[in-house]
Amino acid sequence: MTDKTRYRNPGAGAVEFAAEFLAGFKREEAAVLAPALLRGELHDPSDKRVKRCGHCGYYWRDNSLRNTKRTCSDECKTGIKSLQKRQQRADAALLDTKPKKHKLMDDYIWWLEYPFWIHEYSMIKIGWKFERPSGIALMDYVETSRNQMGDGNRKKSNKHVDYHGDDRDLF
């Protein structure tokens, strides 16, 4: 634990260590001693079994046979592993150089004061979802549509019935 400004809840091992240490004291005395204990000022510094937990950062006593544990509890062990995994995922994402599929929106430079498109094709494809045409741009748009669709875009129905035709011939 190098970052002393980051606080986590003490793990079970850290709680046990503090409880054992403060067990013989009255409540008021314990309240005075606890901060110093948490700062690591009360235990015997030559005691190699007392260490800071690699996850919660509190002092605890390693009672494992070889004194090789780095976290005070199983929960802290799990916590440190999930942090490492998160870090690995972040690193992998940073180093991932696989080319991403190019999207039309990638061509829109929106973070400048005057946003613009670097490819006209992309602009025409989705540009007007963001800015409605007006003025000359609008006239261009109407002109273009007219050229593409003709004057009317209503389909003529094949089943059109002419009520005003020569239907009196039927009688």
User: Nearer to Zn ion by C-beta: 58 or 108?
Assistant: 58
* Least distance in angstroms from the C-beta of 11 to Zn ion: 3
User: Nearer to Zn ion by C-beta: 18 or 56?
Assistant: 56
User: Nearer to Zn ion by C-beta: 54 or 127?
Assistant: 54
Q: What residue ranges bind Zn ion (CB under 5 A)?
A: 11, 53, 55-56, 72, 76
* Least distance in angstroms from the C-beta of 127 to Zn ion: 55
* Least distance in angstroms from the C-beta of 76 to Zn ion: 3
User: Nearer to Zn ion by C-beta: 17 or 108?
Assistant: 17
* Least distance in angstroms from the C-beta of 101 to Zn ion: 43
* Least distance in angstroms from the C-beta of 75 to Zn ion: 7
Minimal CB distance to Zn ion: which residue? 11
Q: What is the DSSP string of 110-149?
A: -SSSS-EES-HHHHHHHGGGTS---HHHHHHHHHHHHHHH
75 burial (CB, 10 Å; 0-12 / 13-18 / 19+) is: middle
Q: Which residues of 10-22 are buried (b: 16+ CB within 10 A; e: fewer)?
A: bbebbbbbbeebb
User: Nearer to Zn ion by C-beta: 55 or 69?
Assistant: 55
CA–CA gap between residue 61 and residue 16 (Å, rounded): 9
Strand, helix or coil for residue 94 = helix
CA–CA gap between residue 99 and residue 102 (Å, rounded): 8
